């Protein structure tokens, strides 16, 4: 039977590429993000391939999250897979220079937003004794790098929540796993550097970074495993990257 996948952060980068990959694998899609025009453009692109529904909400806004899920039409109410992907870094400053807005954004979006969305989906997974939560963490959730402080903390929290969800939902037969990418060339650095595209581009220069489609491919593979196989925790880096701070630019 055709499965429905809800992807947060589908308006750009990894989420968008995942929607494109999963449409080809015959999943029904719920695309989420704040920028509705982007979601609708993606819906137009994919509609000939599969059924697509768009939900525009800010994951920070608990009431908006609840309202968005309540608004789902009948054919999209049953969700089989949740991909918790929405998130960003805001700023790259030493802890003493960090600003409140950036800290709030990273903790509210990457951690609390992930919780709010998950809470909307978990009850139906428990009721059906089936469901898959795939959390997009980061190598920043496995190690801390200079000036990464709060972003790294938010992604360490995603790592902890991935484990916590897997433990608490184990007796309900729910599959929970995470993918932790290294450097992926998306709009991530443009957001981190607040629209400074020149500085953002430099993050991906001099080596071959991962592309969003590389992660989307892996997500499609993870979802295609038989239900008794759970890819619980997966780190993925460019071959040129060895750690958050070691990137080979000599090739
Ligand atoms: P992009 O900036 O390209 O995409 C981020 C997505 O998150 C957008 O679709 C954006 O949608 C959505 N988003 C951000 N804030 C909110 C919000 N408040 N409410 C709802 N949606 C929101 O970055 P990536 O594709 O690279 O990032 C996707 C995930 O991958 C993030 O969790 C990121 O931390 C993680 N990651 C990225 C890596 C990289 O190097 N690029 C490496 C490791 C992990 P909109 O603005 O329309 O709301
Ligand atoms: C994104 C990868 O190294 O910029 O999570 O933090 S990094």
pLDDT confidence of residue 122: 99
184 CA distance to ligand 2 middle (Å): 8
Nearest ligand, measured from the Cα of 184 = 1
Residue 134 counted as domain residue:
yes
CATH number at residue 38: 3.40.50.720
pLDDT confidence of residue 1: 85
> Is 66's pLDDT higher than 90?
yes
Q: Is 145 a catalytic residue?
A: no
Nearest ligand, measured from the Cα of 105 = 1
**Overall average pLDDT of the 113-134 stretch:** 98
Domain of 118? 4-236
Plot region of 173 (φ>0 → left; ψ -120 to 50 → alpha; else → beta): left
> Is 233's pLDDT higher than 90?
yes
Residue 242 counted as domain residue:
no
Contact 31, 39 (CB under 8 A): yes
Residue 243 counted as domain residue:
no
**Closest approach atom of ligand 2 to CA 192:** 4
205 CA distance to ligand 2 middle (Å): 15
Q: Would you give the distance in Å from CA 70 to the centre of its chain?
A: 22
Q: What is the pLDDT of residues 190-232, one digit of tens each?
A: 999 999 999 999 999 999 999 999 999 999 999 999 999 999 9
Ligand 1: list residues with CB < 6 Å.
Answer: 8-15, 33-35, 38, 58-60, 85-88, 109, 136, 138, 181, 183-184, 186-188, 191, 212
Instruction: Give residue 96's pLDDT band: very low, low, confident or very high (50, 70, 90).
Output: very high
Residue 217 counted as domain residue:
yes
pLDDT confidence of residue 132: 99
Active-site choice (100, 116, 145, 151): 151
> Is 32's pLDDT higher than 90?
yes
Ligand 2: list residues with CB < 6 Å.
Answer: 138-140, 148, 182-183, 188, 244
Euclidean distance between CA atoms 147 and 84, whole angstroms: 25
Residue 9 counted as domain residue:
yes
Structural domain count, the chain: 1
Residue 241 counted as domain residue:
no
pTM of the model as a whole = 0.99
**Closest approach atom of ligand 2 to CA 203:** 4
pLDDT confidence of residue 106: 98
Residue 13 counted as domain residue:
yes
Euclidean distance between CA atoms 33 and 193, whole angstroms: 20
**Overall average pLDDT of the 235-245 stretch:** 98
**Overall average pLDDT of the 109-132 stretch:** 98
Percent of the chain with pLDDT over 70: 100
Mutate to test the pocket of ligand 2, among 85, 185, 244, 246 (most ligand atoms within 8 A of CB): 244
Instruction: Give residue 33's pLDDT band: very low, low, confident or very high (50, 70, 90).
Output: very high
Average pLDDT over all residues of the chain: 98
Residue 10 counted as domain residue:
yes
For the record, the structure tokens of 43 come out as: 């819906």
**Overall average pLDDT of the 141-146 stretch:** 98
């Amino acid at each position: 039977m055709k499965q429905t996948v809800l992807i947060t952060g589908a308006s750009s980068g990894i989420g968008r590429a995942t929607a494109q990959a999963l449409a080809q694998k015959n999943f029904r899609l719920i695309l989420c993000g704040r920028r509705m025009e982007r979601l609708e453009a993606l819906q137009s692109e994919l509609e000939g391939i599969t059924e697509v529904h768009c939900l525009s909400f800010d994951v920070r806004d608990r009431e908006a999250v609840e309202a968005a899920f309540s608004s789902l039409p009948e054919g999209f109410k049953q969700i089989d897979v949740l991909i918790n992907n929405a998130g960003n870094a805001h700023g790259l400053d030493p802890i003493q220079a960090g600003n409140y807005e950036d800290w709030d954004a990273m903790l509210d979006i990457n951690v609390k937003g992930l919780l709010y969305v998950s809470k909307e989906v978990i009850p139906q997974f428990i009721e059906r004794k089936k469901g898959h939560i795939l959390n997009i963490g980061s190598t920043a959730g496995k190690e801390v790098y200079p000036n990464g402080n709060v972003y790294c903390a938010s992604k360490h929290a995603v790592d902890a929540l991935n484990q916590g969800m897997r433990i608490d939902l184990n007796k309900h037969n729910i599959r929970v796993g995470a993918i932790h990418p290294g450097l992926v060339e998306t709009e991530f650095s443009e957001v981190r550097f607040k629209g400074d595209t020149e500085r953002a581009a430099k993050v991906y220069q001099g080596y071959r970074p991962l592309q969003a489609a590389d992660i989307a491919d892996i997500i499609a593979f993870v979802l295609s495993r038989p239900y008794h196989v759970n890819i619980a925790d997966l780190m993925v880096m460019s071959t040129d990257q060895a750690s958050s701070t070691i990137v080979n630019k000599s090739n």
